[in-house]
C-alpha cells in the first residue's frame, strides 16, 4: 500500500478493504486496468474490468491521448479533474510526468476560467465548504472530511480570485488546484491536504442571479460576524489538526493582511499572495542581478498596483535590502507605488494604512508613463489586473532609461496581464528582462529566441510547506521565504539566464522544493520552532517524505 510519508499512520486504507465495484469507485485505491490477475481474483474484479492488464505507463499514454483530443483548455481541465476522481494515483503520475504541459491546465491560467464557470462544470466535491450558516458547527463540518491526518489546509473566502475579483464559492477551484500542486511539485501526499472554502456569500451580481451558482445566495458577510466565523474555523483546525499548516489564499487585501497579522504569531499560517509572491519575485530579481551585474540596493522599483502581491513583494524587497545594510527608511525609498488613482505620495489624503508607509515625498502623477519618465525606475512590477497597462510608450521609456529594463507583468490569468512576452521583447528591442504571472510561449525576434520566465508561486510555496510540516513547525517566518528566494535563484542556470529565463524549468521543481524544504526545516530547528526531533540527516529525511504516485500490491 502507498506510504502517506509524513503521516504517522502505517496504512491509510479504510477498515474492511473494499472489493468489486466499490473498490473500482474508490479514487484512493482504484488502479483501473492495472489491477493484477491475482488482485482481480482476490477482490472480485473478474468481468468488471477488460481482460488485459496494463502497466501504469500504458495508462498514462491513454490519458494523454484523451487529453489532447479535448477541444479546449477548459475541457482539458474538466477531463483531468474527472481523472482525479476516478484514480488519484494515476492523476498525479500524469501531472508529474507532464508537468510543464499540465501546469497551465490544472492551475493558471485555465483554473481562472474554471472558477468563473465552476457552478456550471461542477461534478463532485473536492474539499470542504463552510458557510455562514454553519456558525457553531464548524468543527462538525470539518469532521466530515474522510481523512483524519491533515497537515496542510488551503483556505479561501473567494473574494479576490486571481485578477478576476469576487467569485464567492466558485473560488474553490483555487484551493483544489493548490492542493494538487503541493503533491505534484513537492511530493506532499494528497491525503494530507485539505481544500476549504469559507462560503460567506458574494457581492458579484452575476453570480447572485445565476441559478447554477453553488454558494450562498446573499451579500458577503462583513465585520464581527465574518471575524467570528474565521476564528471558529481557526480554533476547530487547531483542535482537530494540531500540526496543520494553514495557507490563506485569495482573500481581499484588507482581510488578507489583517488575518495574517492576527494569526501569524499564534498559529502556523502564511498568505501565498503576500509572502509567496514576494518570495518568488525576489528570486527573480536576484536572477536579474546575475544578468546585469548590478546590486539590489542600486535598484528602483515602481509597482503598478498596491494590493497583496505588490505590498507583499515590496516588504520582501525591503527585508532583503535591510539585510544588505540599508536602513528601513532607505529601503522604502526604493519602492514606489501607483494605485488606481495614481502615484502614492504623501500629499494624498486617501491612502489606507497599507499604502501610507510607502508614500513618497514627491510630485503626484495620475498616469504611469509620466511617472516612469520622472522617477526613472530600473524595474516595473505589474500587479494591477489592468490589461495592457504596460503600453508601448511605457516600455520604450523604460528602454531609454535602462540598458536592460526589468519588466515583471504578474497579473493573471493571461487576460489580465499588463503586457505579453511578445510585447515586452518587441517594444524594448529585446533588451527587457521579462517575467510574467501567466505562461507565454518563446518569442522569436531578429533571429533570436527569448524564453519568457513565469514568476509562479509554485516555485516556493510547496517547498516551504513541505519543510514546515516535516518538522511540525509552530509558525512560518519571513526568513523562510527569503531563504527560498535565494535557493530558487541559485537553481537558475547560466543557460537559462542566457535565454532570458530567470527561473529554472518546471521539470526541476521537485528537486528545488526538496532543497527549499530542507532549508526551511533547518531554520525552524535553529529558531526553536520545530516540534519534531531533528533527524541526523535532515536532507535525506526530507527526501524520504516525498510521495511518488506508483501502484503497489494489495496482496
Domain containing residue 325: CATH number: 3.40.50.720
Same domain, 314 and 435: yes
Q: What is the spatial distance between Cα 551 and Cα 88, in angstroms, rounded to a whole number?
A: 11
| Catalytic residue selected from 107, 263, 503, 551 | 107
Amino acid 367: pLDDT = 97
Same domain, 58 and 158: no
Same domain, 145 and 263: yes
The string of pLDDT tens digits covering residues 450-503 is 999 999 999 999 999 999 999 999 999 999 999 999 999 999 999 999 888 999
The string of pLDDT tens digits covering residues 182-207 is 999 999 999 999 999 999 999 999 99
Same domain, 212 and 143: yes
Same domain, 301 and 326: yes
What DSSP character marks residue 163?
T
Considering 404, 420, 447, which residue would you say is the last residue of a domain?
447
Contacts 24+ apart (CB under 8 A), 415-418: 415/109, 415/112, 415/387, 416/162, 416/163, 416/164, 416/385, 416/386, 416/387, 417/382, 417/387, 418/304, 418/382, 418/384, 418/386, 418/387, 418/388, 418/389, 418/390
Amino acid 92: pLDDT = 98
Inside any domain, residue 523:
no
Q: What is the largest CA-CA distance in the chain?
A: 79
Q: What is the spatial distance between Cα 131 and Cα 479, in angstroms, rounded to a whole number?
A: 35
Residue 361, classified by CB atoms within 10 Å of its CB into exposed (0-12), middle (13-18) or buried (19+), is exposed
Number of folded domains that form the chain: 3
Domain containing residue 239: CATH number: 3.40.50.10380
Inside any domain, residue 497:
no
Amino acid 460: pLDDT = 98
Q: What is the spatial distance between Cα 462 and Cα 185, in angstroms, rounded to a whole number?
A: 6
Range of the domain at 51: 20-104
Q: What is the spatial distance between Cα 336 and Cα 368, in angstroms, rounded to a whole number?
A: 12
Residue numbers in the chain where pLDDT is lower than 50: 1-14
Amino acid 18: pLDDT = 93
Same domain, 87 and 233: no
Rg of the chain (C-alpha set): 24
Amino acid 521: pLDDT = 98
Q: What is the pTM of this model?
A: 0.93
Neighbours of 36 (CB within 10 A): 15
Considering 447, 472, 495, which residue would you say is the last residue of a domain?
447
Examine the residue annotation and report whether 355 is marked as an active-site residue of this protein: no
Q: Which of 501, 513, 499 is nearest to 284 (CA)?
A: 501
Same domain, 233 and 335: no
Q: How far is CA 121 from the centre of its chain?
A: 22
Examine the residue annotation and report whether 526 is marked as an active-site residue of this protein: no
| Catalytic residue selected from 31, 88, 178, 355 | 178
Amino acid at each position: 500500500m502507498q506510504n502517506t510519508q509524513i503521516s504517522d499512520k502505517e496504512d491509510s486504507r479504510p477498515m474492511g478493504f473494499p472489493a468489486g465495484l466499490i473498490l473500482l469507485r474508490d479514487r484512493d485505491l482504484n488502479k483501473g486496468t492495472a489491477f493484477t490477475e491475482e488482485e482481480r481474483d482476490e477482490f472480485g474484479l473478474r468481468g468488471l474490468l477488460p481482460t488485459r492488464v496494463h502497466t501504469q505507463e500504458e495508462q498514462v499514454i491513454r490519458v494523454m491521448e484523451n487529453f489532447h483530443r479535448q477541444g479546449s483548455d477548459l475541457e482539458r481541465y474538466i477531463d483531468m479533474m474527472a481523472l482525479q476522481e476516478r484514480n488519484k494515483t494515476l492523476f498525479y503520475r500524469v501531472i508529474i510526468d507532464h508537468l510543464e504541459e499540465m501546469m497551465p491546465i490544472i492551475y493558471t491560467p485555465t483554473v481562472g476560467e474554471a472558477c468563473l464557470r465552476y457552478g456550471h462544470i461542477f461534478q463532485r466535491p473536492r474539499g470542504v465548504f463552510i458557510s455562514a450558516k454553519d456558525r457553531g458547527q464548524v468543527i462538525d463540518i470539518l469532521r466530515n472530511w474522510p481523512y483524519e491526518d491533515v497537515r496542510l489546509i488551503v483556505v479561501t473566502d473567494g473574494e479576490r480570485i486571481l485578477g478576476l475579483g469576487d467569485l464567492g464559492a466558485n473560488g474553490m477551484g483555487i484551493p483544489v488546484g493548490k492542493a494538487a500542486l503541493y503533491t505534484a511539485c513537492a511530493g506532499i501526499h494528497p491525503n494530507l491536504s485539505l481544500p476549504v472554502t469559507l462560503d460567506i456569500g458574494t457581492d458579484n451580481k452575476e453570480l447572485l442571479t445565476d441559478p447554477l451558482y453553488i454558494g450562498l445566495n446573499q451579500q458577503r458577510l462583513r465585520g464581527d460576524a465574518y471575524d467570528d466565523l474565521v476564528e471558529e474555523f481557526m480554533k476547530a483546525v487547531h483542535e482537530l489538526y494540531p500540526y496543520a499548516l494553514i495557507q490563506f489564499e485569495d482573500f481581499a487585501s484588507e482581510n488578507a493582511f489583517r488575518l495574517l497579522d492576527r494569526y501569524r504569531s499564534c498559529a502556523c499560517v502564511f498568505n501565498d499572495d503576500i509572502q509567496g509572491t514576494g518570495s518568488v519575485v525576489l528570486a527573480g530579481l536576484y536572477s536579474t542581478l546575475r544578468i546585469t551585474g548590478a546590486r539590489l540596493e542600486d535598484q528602483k522599483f515602481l509597482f503598478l498596483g498596491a494590493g497583496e502581491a505588490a505590498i507583499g513583494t515590496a516588504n520582501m524587497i525591503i527585508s532583503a535590502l535591510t539585510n544588505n545594510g540599508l536602513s528601513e527608511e532607505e529601503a522604502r525609498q526604493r519602492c514606489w507605488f501607483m494605485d488606481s488613482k495614481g502615484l502614492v505620495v504623501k500629499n494624498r489624503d486617501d491612502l489606507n494604512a497599507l499604502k501610507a508607509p510607502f508614500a513618497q515625498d514627491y510630485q503626484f502623477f495620475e498616469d504611469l508613463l509620466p511617472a516612469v519618465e520622472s522617477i526613472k525606475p530600473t524595474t516595473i512590477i505589474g500587479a494591477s489586473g489592468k490589461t495592457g497597462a504596460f503600453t508601448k510608450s511605457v516600455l520604450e521609456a523604460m528602454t531609454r532609461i535602462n540598458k536592460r529594463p526589468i519588466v515583471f507583468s504578474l497579473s493573471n490569468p493571461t487576460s489580465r496581464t499588463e503586457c505579453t512576452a511578445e510585447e515586452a521583447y518587441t517594444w524594448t528591442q529585446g533588451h527587457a528582462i521579462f517575467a510574467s504571472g501567466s505562461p507565454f510561449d518563446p518569442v522569436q525576434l531578429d533571429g533570436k529566441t527569448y524564453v519568457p520566465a513565469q514568476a509562479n508561486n509554485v516555485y516556493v510555496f510547496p517547498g516551504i510547506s513541505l519543510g514546515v510540516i516535516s518538522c511540525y513547525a509552530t509558525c512560518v517566518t519571513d526568513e523562510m521565504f527569503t531563504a527560498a528566494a535565494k535557493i530558487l535563484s541559485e537553481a537558475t542556470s547560466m543557460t537559462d539566464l542566457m535565454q532570458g529565463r530567470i527561473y529554472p524549468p518546471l521539470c526541476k521543481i521537485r528537486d528545488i522544493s526538496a532543497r527549499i524544504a530542507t532549508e526551511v526545516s533547518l531554520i525552524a530547528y535553529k529558531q526553536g520552532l520545530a516540534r519534531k526531533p531533528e533527524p541526523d540527516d535532515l536532507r535525506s529525511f526530507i527526501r524520504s517524505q516525498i510521495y511518488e504516485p506508483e501502484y503497489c500490491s494489495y496482496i
